[in-house]
Structure 1
Amino acid sequence: MSNELNPASRSTKPIYQDANLLIVVSVTLMEILGTMSINPVLPGIAREFELSLQQIGWVTTAFVVPIAIGGPISGVLADRFSRKPILVPSLFLFAIAGVACAFAPNFQTLLVWRFLQGVGAASLEAIPLALLGDLYTGKQLTAAMGFNASAIGLSLAVYPLLGGGLASMGWRNAFALPLIAAFVGIWLLRSLRLPQQQRHADFNLQVYLRSIWSSIRRGRVIKLLFIVVALFILLFGAYLTYIPSVAESLGASEIEIGILLASMAVFFAFTSSQLGLLTRLLSELTLIKIAFSIYTLALIVTPSIDRIWMLFIPSVLFGVAHGIVYPTTQALLAELSPNHNRAGFMAVVAIAIPLGQAIGPVLGGLAFSAWEIRGVFYAGMSLAIATLVLLNYLIPRKS
């Protein structure tokens, strides 16, 4: 059976039953597994190798750095040589290096294997987004992005439990989980069916990079990237950084804080899974407006909360808002990506996510130093309102 798919021949069955979508989502979840399943084992690693809190951070850094550097490179290679020849070796490298971490005799060797695992993970974020753009269009694309984001949300709650459960029998056991990536690689190689794509024998890197830059400079792309940066500033600058501090000040334990954060991930997953239905009822612009209105409401109520259980209110609201706006913006960006350099385009625009993640805590810290913790949420509310007001100018209505 051919591995090429004519877009016109796609099945009319529900999108969540599409084997192509399930394969792409599985690839996305492998990259997240590399961090979320390992976080619970860090204290065990620190004890065995007698590390300080500053040193243990290198376990994560060694994994993330090659992803940041290699993501755009993998996008270029995927456009030049197709998706499968890049993804399959990446998944196997991710699996082999991840399992090898379990046998590391010292901390330095562990960091080497984590770095190589990060090299394998570099293509597992942007290329799946490009694949969704290859496979779907219009409302189907938005629904597919929603399903992908829903799986991400569930993984944020499930992976720490899996990693922590395995680590309870010894931290090295948690590094058995990356072996799943090898099975995903075999599944992708045998079953993923892609649309036929034109191959250019006279590939010119300089022309290719100029084309990507020209695509990114378009007004709609820049405006969408502004929204992505803003939503991750809100998530990391207000919610993830300071909600735990608010909970602790109200007497919450570490387990209660974990449950609180997990509730946000669960509602993020549920809302994303309903995006296909929402887009049949409302336009993408209207959905983004609703999401930033919900962000604003969550940030308004948080400073006045004086009971631990009431913190579930902003947690649920943040989960719902993020479940709406994140996959919606990713779908709009995928639709704007040119067919001939979609993977490279998505790899470059994906930089907006870590940019927001990095800026958010810094801005939150500045607001905290000026107006204490209430100021963090009021500053975030101001950003959400400003983005809401600007939305009519940021995204033109889609026909």
Structure 2
Amino acid sequence: MATETKTVLDQETKDIIKATVPVLKEHGNAITTRFYQRLFETHPELKNIFNQTNQRKGDQPKALANTVYAAALHIDQLEEILPVVKQVAEKHRSLNIKAEHYPIVGENLLLAMKEVLGDAATDEIIQAWERAYGVIADVFISVEEEMYEEIGNRPGGWVDFRDFEVVKKEKESDVITSFYLRPADGGALASYQPGQYITVKAQMEGEPYNQLRQYSLSWAPGNEMYRISVKREDPINGYPAGKVSTYLHEEVEEGSILPISAPAGDFVLDQADSRPLILISGGVGLTPMMSMLETVIARQHQRDVTFIHAARNEHVHAMKERVEDITEMYTNVTAYTVYDQPSDESACDKVGHIEREWLKEILPTNNAAFYFCGPKGFMRACYQHLKSLGVAAGDIHYEVFGPSEDITA
């Protein structure tokens, strides 16, 4: 992957940037929060791209603050942040963020830095960051250009949004519904890797801006359609109902058209690994796990799989019957269900939560590939359990929106 930049930073600039690392650690979230406020004040059309729910929750500013901090910390060797760059670039490509957006972001980020830091943000510091931002932006633009080129040249691939028809809508549980999507133009379907997602552009009546949301593809590649399985986000803890999930559940029907971007994401199953596979999910986090499970039974017939799913109860547990069918057909697949508040305790293998000692009892080995997905608190617990059971860091795979410390701390 290309990492060349158009400008080389001088040592003085690097020294200034590195000297600001402690300041960014302390004030980074305030800077990025103010940045997004400025951005949407000066360029409200960008609300068509950025998830406003993540803005309200503070996830988006925190994620950007983490990226800026990492870039400053590794300004001597920007290749060190390539994993972060690649993950963010996958998101950018799925949202169709282009090179022309970067100067707008840079201008507002520097102004936000100046506002938050006040006199501490001297002209020398701001000028150094202006030079550094140009170099960092070039890294992102270069990586994203390669991604756009690759997906545009892939058989069935496309850039920007493409209309898909909902050919089937299927209720999976009280809160999760699957949507089967086929290209409205009748053309080919781009391949994807299990674990990847698509971005849906919801154009809702009465809403001044488009709403973009990313949903994991929930079955194996190679089918004639895409499938996403969407949880209806009801009001909770002071947050309103999810606009897009409610729209999909209540207004989108078979025959409806949804614009989507091509599959993206770097949280993907390593199919070259033949060791035992452990898939752990909480709630709607089972969607990428289902894609991985379906892929293994189709392509890695001898690979041992342990599939663990946690849900509140049996009424919100999606695709349970499909997993049961798989375990009956394939002796190499073992499945466990954990319910926090079951209506019938006989409907699950464990009541409560996934706990370290229980994992120790049921896991065949810690020399395996572990993938997990779910709410942040769930993933934080999974990560800590696996680390305490001696699982190697390189065998622990997850995807989180925001700083990895949200899970690993």
| TM category, shorter | under 0.3
Structure number having the greater strand percentage: 2
Give the TM-score of the pair, scaled to structure 1. 0.26
Higher relative contact order (CA 8 A, sep 6+): 1
Structure number having the greater helix percentage: 1
Give the TM-score of the pair, scaled to structure 2. 0.26
